């Protein structure tokens, strides 16, 4: 969390945090918003996202049979799905719990933790994007793995 929150510090708005997780979650922006720049969780998004993008680039240039793709491409799915899951959990959290966790110097009924229609509407694209990204990366990864196994078996049998 942010160091020593004070009552006059700006409140961390739940709706803003949820949409940041959905739109810029791959970069950890939502974690920086709620926890500050020193959070490890925000910075951990960068290497996972970059590795996943390298895997996507390899799929587009080399096809699905290259060995590293099985490892790298699912990381892209994780880099998209984890912030989407975070957006869902945050959007559905009670306002009192939100304020207790991210706005501890404020009253538990503070409006920053309120759930608005925009907050709830973020759940729909988060479910869609997170599920599609994660399952697609797994499917492509498994396809590459099994194609490589078939090619290895053909090479052995000849």
Please give the pLDDT value at position 98.
93
Report yes or no on 9 lying in a domain: no
Query: 113 in a domain, yes or no?
Result: yes
Instruction: Please give the pLDDT value at position 146.
Output: 84
* 82 lies in some domain: yes
Give the C-alpha distances (Å, rounded to integers) separating 62 from 59, 108, 116: 5, 53, 45
Q: Is residue 2 very low, low, confident or very high in pLDDT (cuts 50, 70, 90)?
A: low
Give the structural domain span for 92: 14-157
pTM: predicted TM-score of the whole model, two decimal places: 0.83
What local confidence, expressed as pLDDT, does residue 66 receive?
72
Residue 6 lies in a domain: no
Three-class secondary structure assignment of 58-73: HHHHHCCCCCCHHHHH
Q: What is the overall mean pLDDT for the chain? A: 88
7 within domain boundaries? no
> Which band of pLDDT confidence, cut at 50, 70 and 90, is reported for residue 7?
low
- Assigned domain for 20 exists: yes
pLDDT at 6: 62
Q: Is residue 104 part of a domain?
A: yes
Residue 2: inside a domain, yes or no?
Answer: no
Burial of 65 (0-12, 13-18, 19+ CB in 10 A): middle
HEC sequence for the chain? CCCCCCCCCCCCCHHHHHHHHHHHHHHCHHHHHHHCCCCHHHHHHHHHHHHHHHHHHHHHHHCCCCCCHHHHHHHHHHHHHHHHHHHHHHHCCCHHHHHHHHCCCCCCCCHHHCCCHHHHHCHHHHHHHHHHHHHHHHHHHHHHHHHHHHHHHHHHHC
List, for residues 120-150, the tens digit of each pLDDT value: 999 999 999 999 998 988 888 788 788 878 8
Higher-pLDDT residue of 5 and 141 is 141
pLDDT in tens, 22-63: 999 999 999 999 999 999 999 999 999 999 999 889 888 987
Tally of structural domains, the chain: 1
């Amino acid at each position: 969390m942010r160091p020593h929150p004070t009552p006059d510090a700006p409140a961390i708005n739940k709706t803003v945090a949820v949409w940041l997780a959905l739109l810029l979650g791959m970069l950890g922006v939502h974690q920086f918003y709620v926890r500050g720049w020193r959070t490890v969780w925000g910075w951990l998004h960068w290497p996972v996202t970059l590795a996943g993008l390298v895997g996507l680039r390899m799929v587009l240039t080399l096809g699905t049979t290259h060995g590293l793709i099985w490892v790298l491409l699912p990381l892209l799915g994780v880099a998209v799905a984890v912030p989407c899951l975070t957006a869902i959990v945050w959007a559905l959290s009670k306002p009192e719990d939100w304020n207790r966790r991210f706005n501890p110097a404020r009253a538990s009924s503070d409006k920053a933790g309120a759930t608005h229609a925009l907050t709830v509407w973020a759940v729909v694209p988060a479910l869609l994007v997170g599920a599609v990204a994660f399952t697609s990366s797994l499917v492509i990864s498994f396809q590459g793995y099994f194609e490589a196994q078939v090619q290895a078996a053909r090479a052995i049998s000849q």
